[in-house]
C-alpha cells in the first residue's frame, strides 16, 4: 500500500475500507483493503463496478461525521432471468470503514504502515461491533510481542490467544467475545510485510523484473559487483541498488534477508558465487536464469549442497509461458515467485498473554476421535476410505498424535478389529462401541466415559472431515488456552459444531445425550459459553459417495 504513505504525505483525508467477513462468492476475501479519498478517488479494488460505487457512496457519511461504520455491500451476480432488470447478488461483503486524517493523525493507517514495515507478520485488530462501555466500535490496535494494553483486562487473554491462532494459521478471523453481559466483535487481520526480492545481476533484462516487482509492492534490491552496471539511475523501480561482491552481500544487506532471490548476472563464475551466498541465507526461493545445460552444470558444481537445497532452487527460473522477450521472461519469473509464495514459511512473533509467555499448556487436553459410524448413506466403511494416500482413520489418529501424543481416545464401531490394525503403530487408546447402531450419542458418551480423571477438556474430532488438518485444530487450541472454561467450536456453513473443545464441566450434559444428538446439542444449549473459530474446511465432510467425489476434487457442496 505505497499509496497510503503518499496520501498521508499530502495531508489528504481518506477512508480505510477493510473486508471483515464475506458470504457467498466474492472477488476479495476478509483482510483485503482499499483506500477511498474524497471525490470518489480510490486505490486498489475490492470488486469493481456497482460494488465499488456503492462502497464509495457509503463513505460519504463517514467523511461527514468521521465516525467508523460497518456496511454490507452486494457482489453483483448474473442477471436474474425472473426480472426485467438488475441482477441477483452473488455474495455479500461486510466492510469496516475507518476515517483517517490529520485530526486523528491517520491512526489506523499508521498502524497498518507500521505492520507493513515489520519483518514478520503482525495482527491488526479492529473492533467491528461492541456493547461494552469500555470498548468503542472502530478502535484498532497492532499486536506484536504483547497483548492489547488499551483494551479491558478481561479481554486481553482471549485476544492474545486468538491473535496467536490467526498468526499460526495465517488466516484472518472475525470473532465474537462475550464479556459478562456484553458482546465484543473483533476482526483479527493478518498484515504481512512485502516480499523481499534480491536480483543478482544489473543487466538490461533485470529492469523489467524490478518494474513488475515494484508494481506488486515487493521490496527490490539489485546487486552487482560491476559498478558500471549497478547504477541507481538505471533501476528507478528498485528500492536499493548495491555495487558489492557476493561475499560482502550479507554486510551490504545489513542483516535483511530476502525471501526470494533471482540470479541473472550472465556470468557463470558470478552466478556460482551468488548462488552459494544465497544458499547460506533463509531465502526460500532461489531462481537461476539460463539454459537447462548451463543450470545443470551450475548445480552439479554445488556437490553436497545440491540435494538439501533442491526444494528452493528453481533452475531454469520462471514458469513455462512461452516467454521470449525480456519483459515476458520477467513476467514468468514474477509469476513463479508469486506461485511459490504461498509455501513460504514466515516467522511470526507470538502474542504474549498477560502474566506469562505465549507457550501453550496442553495438559489435561485429550482428543476423542469418533470413528464408530456404520456409514449407511455412504454404503461402505468410511473409516478406511483413502484420502491423499492414507485412510481417513489413520489420518485422524496421526493428527491427534501430533497434537497431544498419547492422550487420544478412538471410538470404534463395525469391523473394529480391522480398524484397530489400521492404527496399530500410533499411540492411542481404542474402545469399541458395541451399540454404535443406536446413534452418535452412544459413541460420544463412550469416548467421554473413557477419559481419565485428569482430563480437563476433550477435543472432539471426526475422521470424515479430512480437510481439517493441524492448523485448523491449532486455531481451536489457541482460543481454548486463553479461555479454558469456554467451549471452543468450529464455525462453518452457518452453524457451529465439531471439531470442538468441550471443558469437563459440560461432560455431564454430554452423558445425557441419546440417539443421533451429538455435541452440537450441548453447544446450542450454551451459546454464550461458545467461542467460535471460523473453520470452513469442516463443512466438507463425507456422508455420501458424492461427498467423497467432491472432497477428492475440492468442489464445494
Q: List the domain boundaries for the chain.
A: 2-191, 196-341, 365-553
Q: State the sign of the Cα–Cα–Cα–Cα dihedral 316, 319, 324, 326.
A: negative
Per-residue pLDDT for 426 more than 80?
yes
pLDDT of residue 76: 61
- Rounded to an integer, the average pLDDT of 226-249 is 95
What pLDDT, on the 0 to 100 scale, is given for residue 152? 66
pLDDT value for 397: 93
CA 238 to chain centroid: 29
Q: Cell digits for 486?
A: 469456554
* pLDDT score, position 121: 84
Contact between 213 and 261 (Cβ < 8 Å)? no
pLDDT-derived band at 430, boundaries 50, 70, 90:
very high
Range 353-370 average pLDDT = 71
- Say whether 435 sits in a helix, a strand or coil: coil
Taking all residues of the chain, what is their mean pLDDT, rounded to a whole number?
A: 86
Q: Is the pLDDT at 88 greater than 60, yes or no?
A: no
The more confidently predicted of residues 368 and 44 is 368
Question: What pLDDT score was predicted for residue 156?
Answer: 77
What is the pLDDT confidence band of residue 90, given thresholds at 50, 70 and 90? low
> Which pLDDT value is given to residue 122?
87
What's the confidence (pLDDT) of residue 43? 76
Contacts of 519 (CB under 8 A, 6+ apart): 444, 460, 497, 498, 500, 502, 510
Residue 82 has pLDDT above 60, yes or no: no
The pLDDT of residue 498 is above 70:
yes
- Residue 301, C-alpha cell as written in the block: 558444481
The confidence band for 556, taking pLDDT boundaries of 50, 70 and 90, is: very low
Mean pLDDT over residues 94-115, rounded? 91
Question: Which H or E run includes 15?
Answer: strand 14-24
Q: What distance in Å separates the CA atoms of residue 481 and residue 116, rounded to the nearest whole number?
A: 28
Confidence check: pLDDT of 235 > 80: yes
Q: pTM here?
A: 0.65
What pLDDT does residue 417 have?
92
Looking at residue 157, its pLDDT comes to 73
* CATH number of the structural domain 196-341: 3.40.50.720
Asked if pLDDT for residue 540 goes beyond 70, the answer is yes
Integer Cα distance of 141 and 124 in angstroms: 6
User: Looking at residues 545-556, what average pLDDT do you find?
Assistant: 75
Bridge partners of 99?
Answer: 15
Characterize the bridge pairing of strands 122-130 and 182-191: antiparallel
Q: What is the 3-state secondary structure (H, E, C) of 27-93?
A: CCCCCCEEEEEHHHEEECCCCCHHHHHHHHHHHHHHHHHCCCEEEEEEEECCCCCCCCCCCCEEEEE
Classify residue 136 as exposed, middle or buried by CB count within 10 Å of its CB (0-12, 13-18, 19+): exposed
CA of 459: how far to CAs of 369, 475, 513, 533, 535, in Å? 8, 12, 17, 14, 15
CATH architecture type of domain 365-553:
Alpha-Beta Complex (3.90)
What is residue 288's predicted lDDT score, i.e. its pLDDT? 96
CB contact at 8 A, 447 and 411: yes
pLDDT digits (tens, 9 = 90+) for 130-183: 988 888 899 898 886 555 556 666 677 778 878 877 777 677 888 877 777 888
Q: In this structure, are residues 508 and 466 in contact, taking their beta carbons and an 8 Å threshold?
A: no
The confidence score (pLDDT) of residue 155 equals 74
Give mean pLDDT, residues 346-361.
Answer: 53
Say if residue 307's pLDDT is above 70: yes
Share of the chain above pLDDT 90, in %: 45
User: Which residues neighbour 131 within 8 Å (Cβ) at sequence distance 6 or greater?
Assistant: 182, 183, 184
Amino acid at each position: 500500500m505505497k499509496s497510503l504513505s503518499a496520501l498521508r504525505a499530502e495531508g489528504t483525508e481518506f477512508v480505510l475500507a477493510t473486508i471483515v467477513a464475506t458470504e457467498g462468492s466474492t472477488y476479495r476475501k476478509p483482510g483485503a483493503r482499499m483506500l477511498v479519498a474524497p471525490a470518489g478517488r480510490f486505490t486498489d479494488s475490492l470488486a469493481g463496478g456497482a460494488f465499488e460505487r456503492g462502497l464509495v457512496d457509503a463513505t460519504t457519511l463517514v467523511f461527514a461525521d468521521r465516525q467508523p461504520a460497518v456496511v454490507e455491500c452486494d457482489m453483483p451476480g448474473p442477471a436474474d432471468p425472473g426480472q426485467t432488470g438488475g441482477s441477483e447478488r452473488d455474495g455479500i461483503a461486510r466492510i469496516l470503514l475507518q476515517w483517517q486524517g490529520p485530526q486523528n493523525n491517520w491512526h489506523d493507517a499508521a498502524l497498518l504502515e507500521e505492520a507493513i514495515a515489520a519483518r514478520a507478520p503482525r495482527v491488526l485488530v479492529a473492533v467491528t461491533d461492541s456493547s461494552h462501555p469500555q470498548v468503542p466500535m472502530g478502535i484498532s490496535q497492532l499486536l506484536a510481542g504483547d497483548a492489547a494494553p488499551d483494551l479491558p483486562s478481561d479481554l486481553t487473554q482471549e485476544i492474545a490467544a486468538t491473535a496467536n491462532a490467526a498468526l499460526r494459521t495465517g488466516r484472518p478471523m472475525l470473532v465474537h467475545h462475550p464479556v459478562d453481559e456484553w458482546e465484543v466483535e473483533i476482526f483479527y487481520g493478518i498484515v504481512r510485510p512485502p516480499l523481499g526480492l534480491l536480483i543478482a545481476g544489473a543487466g538490461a533484462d533485470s529492469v523489467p523484473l524490478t518494474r513488475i516487482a515494484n508494481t506488486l509492492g515487493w521490496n527490490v534490491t539489485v546487486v552487482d559487483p560491476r559498478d558500471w552496471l549497478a547504477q541507481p539511475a538505471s533501476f528507478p523501480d528498485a528500492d536499493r541498488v548495491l555495487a558489492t561482491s557476493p561475499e560482502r552481500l550479507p554486510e551490504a544487506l545489513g542483516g535483511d534477508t530476502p525471501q526470494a532471490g533471482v540470479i541473472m548476472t550472465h556470468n557463470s563464475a558470478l552466478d556460482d558465487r551468488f548462488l552459494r551466498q544465497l544458499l547460506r541465507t533463509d531465502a526460500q526461493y532461489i531462481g537461476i536464469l539460463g539454459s537447462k545445460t548451463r543450470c545443470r552444470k551450475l548445480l552439479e558444481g554445488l556437490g553436497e549442497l545440491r540435494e538439501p537445497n533442491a526444494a528452493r532452487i528453481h533452475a531454469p527460473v520462471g514458469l513455462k509461458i512461452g516467454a521470449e522477450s525480456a519483459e515476458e521472461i520477467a513476467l514468468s519469473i514474477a509469476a513463479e515467485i508469486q506461485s511459490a509464495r504461498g509455501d513460504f514459511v514466515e516467522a511470526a512473533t507470538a502474542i504474549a498473554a498477560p502474566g506469562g509467555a505465549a507457550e501453550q499448556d496442553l495438559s489435561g487436553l485429550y482428543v476423542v476421535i469418533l470413528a464408530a459410524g456404520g456409514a449407511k448413506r455412504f454404503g461402505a466403511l468410511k473409516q478406511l476410505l483413502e484420502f491423499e494416500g492414507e485412510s481417513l482413520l489413520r489420518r485422524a489418529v496421526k493428527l491427534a498424535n501430533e497434537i497431544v501424543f498419547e492422550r487420544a481416545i478412538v471410538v470404534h464401531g463395525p469391523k473394529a478389529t480391522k480398524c484397530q490394525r489400521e492404527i496399530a503403530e500410533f499411540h492411542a487408546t481404542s474402545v469399541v462401541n458395541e451399540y454404535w447402531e443406536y446413534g452418535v450419542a452412544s459413541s460420544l458418551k463412550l469416548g467421554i466415559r473413557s477419559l481419565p480423571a485428569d482430563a480437563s477438556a476433550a477435543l472432539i474430532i471426526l475422521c470424515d472431515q479430512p480437510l481439517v488438518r493441524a492448523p485448523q485444530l491449532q486455531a481451536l487450541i489457541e482460543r481454548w488456552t486463553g479461555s479454558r472454561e469456554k467451549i471452543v467450536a468450529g464455525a462453518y456453513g452457518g452453524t457451529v459444531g465439531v471439531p470442538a473443545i468441550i471443558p469437563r464441566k459440560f461432560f455431564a450434559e454430554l452423558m445425557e445425550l441419546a440417539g443421533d444428538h451429538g455435541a452440537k446439542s450441548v453447544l446450542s444449549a450454551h451459546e454464550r459459553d461458545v467461542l467460535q473459530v471460523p473453520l470452513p474446511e469442516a463443512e466438507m465432510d463425507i456422508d455420501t459417495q458424492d461427498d467423497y467425489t467432491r472432497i477428492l476434487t475440492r468442489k464445494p457442496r
